[in-house]
Chain A
């Protein structure tokens, strides 16, 4: 019941919102914020009821839906999905709060934001391939409108590119899902049953694995399927970027943990070297591309590609340590990147009206609080020990080292140095130097309210990574055992 409520309350809220008069803009904003906070309360209740010392699915709800095809309405949560749900429950209300500056077609904007929430919670809780696919696709349409209507100058190009790329990936995945359904001979779309009982011929397993890979690799995005991301991130409004980077990318990596690794362990192991190389290329390429950017938002977008590379590397190594690290990066990037996007695209941009680094300087002197916030987010993103970005990368490297020694050394040497480099260079150009131009107002109360919860979580997870590790340790151990890792 709790999970159904979590998934459908935002949708219900969106339907009610449709009846609001268009002109009552502040009421619409407040209402959307309140509706998006309800899932946060529900997530707390779910957390209370869950037992994280076991790996099984919990709070499972299952009903027949289309029995003639073996499709059921099945939701559940475990230690792998819960942290991502929790991150969503944190980031989604904040992204709505960050979007209070939207002035154009306000009602429609918050309506799509609420619809998007249903799709996101649905993706992380669905345990039936058919249901999952519906939520997975359903997240596209609201995001298309959010980028396409409220985005930057190249919004139409960016939104269509995002739409087509993701749809192409998931179209191929759909064929994979059907092949899994028919190839297993089990006549069910149940994720767990298929993971445990499907006896697939090795070649078939390979093909299905690749079909799934197409769907999730575009979403993550894994190099070379990433080209939609810089466009989409740069053009999206701040709230959209926060959700895109913080949560929607995680639906791709979540796909690896929930579907691909447990269901196709053999193909995954055989594919692992390729995956590791793609992960490393992503880390280094993303970092180098970020370094080359003049646009702040584009830099953050490429840094997302780089960070998702860590997750891919961790997944590829398949040791308990590396998988834990990958999960941790999922969580930490889920709270750091929204903060960074918010600071760069909203706090700084709303004041300077530019995102070009060469047009800004000396922000430390002009807007000290906002600039310190930027520095905080940048340090978190580059993986400074004591903040959430560090433990995940550390575990990933340590866990992957025995498996892919050369690659890890390469990534550590090139990736880490470049990552630190572009963040520091950005801070040097933007925050330091001689202040130019007129006086600017410093950060507002609303902006602090958006940033503070994220900052608290970043520090908390940095100092006490166990809070998050405790959640997914068990399921990851089971998964690693299934993969035959160390």
Chain B
């Protein structure tokens, strides 16, 4: 394996981490200005450029097989960078207004992104775990950034407690797999388990622990109890980031671990994921109907959406994985876009109740329309990204003879209409006392417009992205030939 140029291949990660340090230092000087945010954006852009010029299209395994670079990892890196950039955009004004220390905030955001990149960019359980911890520790701190707000503190504390337990569970599961296979590398584990012929109870136990641990990060029922409080209490941009990127990272790591490392146990984990998917979407959707606060509603909707995405993991065919990746991309655009509008409204109505959306259709037609499209996309109505994503997932499920799962998914989409559409109804059908148009910070405007463009383009012209996601393979076949 060529060691030369290996630094080149993790240049995006290096740049991100370096940018994090620079932003942290800049935050000491510019405590309240937007400079750290701009620097963070520049850092993300630099990492993106490095990803495009040096890493895109490359496949390699580096550094004693602890880091892997391939199409799958690169696609996830691109998703994480886009989400991080959009999060910075919606944060700019928010951070300033709420007196959040800018340097620390953006530094933590960038470090969390580094952690996620390593979660998706490794076939080694230890690296995946380190990435997960890097992401988690940064997120715990970010959730508590509104220091004077007790809800934010509560969110942070809950997140730390549950997150620490889940990390422990993940680590325990990994240690069991290590005990069964004698290696932390997923390909070694796969071979060891395939060779043994019969099911090792230790491996099954390890698998269950891993499902539970990652289930927490995915906010899948029954591991979702932290999600509403954290997504509700933490700063809004952090909630947007956690709902999209952190969840995507957990799915990325889970895809790798289960499909590469545990194909011998495929029947077992597929069954578990099918059950988790069905109860996640059902419980999430039904609970969301009862919410009056928009962020709690979006939190339960995230639980339900995690259930939809998990269908890809449950089907676990090539097509299902492509569909899942597509859905994750679509989900990032529509969720961050929806959060941009929530943040915009939160400037005037800090309580963020669904009722506060009254009359938005007349106060701010562009943002009301944008939110309508994001919500249509979350329901899965054409011509939006969410529709095509669901279409793709359902197609994969029907193709794998899981038609009943597809039907459950469709029924759930219908169950989700009342609460998503309730917001639209409030925006257009109810009049507000306040008629003045909302003033819109530039960052939020850009984030909403990018989210809108992404949602519509992915919905109307999905072909380019479909080709990208169907060219990606979870299982690195180029590695097998090396044995």
- Measured between beta carbons, the chain B residues less than 8 angstroms from A164 are 414, 417-418
Q: Are B398 and A138 in contact (CB under 8 A)?
A: no
User: Number of contacting residues on B, CB 8 A?
Assistant: 33
Q: Are B382 and A138 in contact (CB under 8 A)?
A: yes
| B406–A175 touching, CB < 8 Å | yes
Chain B 447-470: CB-based contact to A (< 8 A → 1; otherwise 0): 000000000000001110011001
Chain A nearest Cβ from B293, distance in angstroms: 21
Q: Is the CB of A134 within 8 A of B467?
A: no
A163 and B462: CB pair below 8 A?
Answer: no
- Number of contacts between A and B (CB, 8 Å)? 79
State which of A51-59, A141-149, A278-286, A431-439 sits at the interface with chain B: A141-149
| CB pair B462 A66 closer than 8 Å | yes
Q: A380 to B175, alpha carbons, bound, how many Å?
A: 80
State the CA gap A67–B395 with chains docked (Å). 15
Min C-beta distance of B406 to chain A, whole Å: 5
In contact, B428 and A145 (Cβ under 8 angstroms): yes
Q: Would you call the interface of chain A mostly helix, strand, loop, or mixed?
A: helix
Instruction: Give the residues from 390 to 426 in chain B that come closer than 8 angstroms, CB to CB, to chain A.
Output: 391-392, 394-395, 398-399, 403, 406-407, 410-411, 413-414, 417-418, 421, 425
Interface residue B320 (Cβ < 8 Å from any Cβ of A): no
Contacts of A167 in B (CB 8 A): 381, 413-414, 417
Quote the shortest CB–CB distance from A292 to chain B (angstroms): 31
Closest to B394 in A: A178
Which residue on A lies nearest to B407, using beta carbons? A175
Is B50 in contact with chain A by the CB < 8 A criterion? no
Question: Which residues of chain B have C-beta atoms less than 8 A from A156's C-beta?
Answer: 425, 429
Q: Does A31 touch B at the CB level, under 8 Å?
A: no
* B292 interfacial contact with A, CB 8 Å: no
Q: Kindly state whether residue B346 has any CB partner on chain A within 8 Å.
A: no
A182–B410 CA distance with the chains assembled, in angstroms: 17
Q: Which residues of A contact B443 (CB under 8 A)?
A: none
| List of B residues within 8 angstroms of A108 by Cβ | 361
Query: In the complex, are the beta carbons of A160 and B466 less than 8 A apart?
Result: no
| B383 in contact (CB, < 8 A) | yes
Q: Select one of A148, A149, A171, A181 contacting B410, CB under 8 A.
A: A171
Cα of A227 to Cα of B381 in the assembled complex, Å:
23
Q: Of B362, B398, B399, which is in contact with the most chain A CB atoms at under 10 Å from its CB?
A: B398
Q: From A211, which residue of chain B is reached at the shortest CB distance?
A: B407
**B463 touches which one: A67, A133, A140 (CB < 8 A)?**
A67
With both beta carbons as reference points, the residue of chain B lying nearest to A145 in the complex is identified as B428
**A196, CB-defined interface residue at 8 Å:** no
Asked whether any CB of chain B lies closer than 8 Å to the CB of A460, the reply is no
Contacts of B398 in A (CB 8 A): 175, 178-179, 182
List B contacts of A65 (CB < 8 A).
Answer: 461, 463
- CB B403 to nearest CB in A, in angstroms, measures 7
List residues of chain A with CB within 8 A of the CB of B394: 174-175, 178
A175 to B395, CA, bound (A): 8
- Residue of A with least CB distance to B380: A171
- Interface flag for B110 (CB, 8 Å): no
Q: How far is the CA of A160 from the CA of B466 in the complex (A)?
A: 33
Judged by a CB distance under 8 angstroms, whether A16 is at the interface is: no
Contact A141 B467, CB 8 Å, known A148-B425, A175-B394 = no
Given contacts A65-B463, A164-B414, A175-B406, contact A137 B425 (CB under 8 A): no
**A66-B466, A167-B381 known; A149 and B428 CB under 8 Å?**
yes
Contact A68 B470, CB 8 Å, known A141-B381, A164-B418: yes
Q: Does B466 contact A105, Cβ atoms closer than 8 Å?
A: no
- Given A137-B381, A148-B425, verify A178-B395 contact (CB < 8 Å): yes
| B463 x A66 contact (CB < 8 A) | yes
Option from B362, B383, B413, B470 in Cβ contact (under 8 Å) with A134: B383
Q: How far is the CA of A178 from the CA of B387 in the complex (A)?
A: 13
Residues on B with C-beta less than 8 A from A175 are 394, 398, 403, 406-407, 410
- The reply to whether A69 and B466 form a contact with Cβ atoms under 8 Å apart is yes
Report chain A residues within 8 Å CB of B425. Answer: 148, 156, 160
Cα distance A314–B394 in the bound complex, in angstroms: 34
Does A172 sit at the interface, judged by CB under 8 A? yes
Rounded to whole Å, the gap between the CB of A185 and the closest CB of chain B is 11
Taking the complex as formed, is B119 at the interface, i.e. its CB lies under 8 A from any CB of chain A?
no
Q: Which residues of A contact B361 (CB under 8 A)?
A: 108
- Interface 1/0 per residue, A153-184 and B, CB below 8 Å: 00110001001100110011011001101100
- Nearest to B379 among chain A residues (CB) is A167
Could you tell me if A160 and B463 are in contact, using CB atoms closer than 8 angstroms? no
Q: Nearest Cβ distance between residue A104 and chain B, in whole angstroms?
A: 10
CA distance A155 to B392 in the complex (A): 35
Q: Which of A67, A163, A178 contacts B391 (CB 8 A)?
A: A178
Which residues on the B side are within 8 Å of A130 (C-beta)? 391
Partner of B418, one of A137, A138, A160: A160
Residues on B with beta carbons closer than 8 Å to the beta carbon of A105: 362
- Is B55 part of the binding interface, using a Cβ–Cβ cutoff of 8 Å? no
Chain A, 283-324, CB within 8 A of any chain B CB:
none
| Inter-chain contacts of B406 with A (CB < 8 A) | 175, 178
- CA–CA, A138 and B376, complex, Å: 11
Name A172's closest neighbour in chain B (CB-CB). Answer: B410
* B-side contacts of A140, CB under 8 Å: 381
Residue of B nearest to A165 (CB): B414
Residues of A with C-beta under 8 A to B470:
68
Top 4 A-B residue pairs of the complex, sorted by shortest distance between their CB atoms? A134-B382, A171-B410, A66-B463, A168-B414
Known: A68-B470, A145-B428. 14 other contacts (CB 8 A): A66-B462, A66-B463, A67-B463, A108-B361, A134-B387, A137-B381, A140-B381, A155-B429, A156-B425, A160-B421, A160-B425, A171-B411, A175-B394, A182-B395
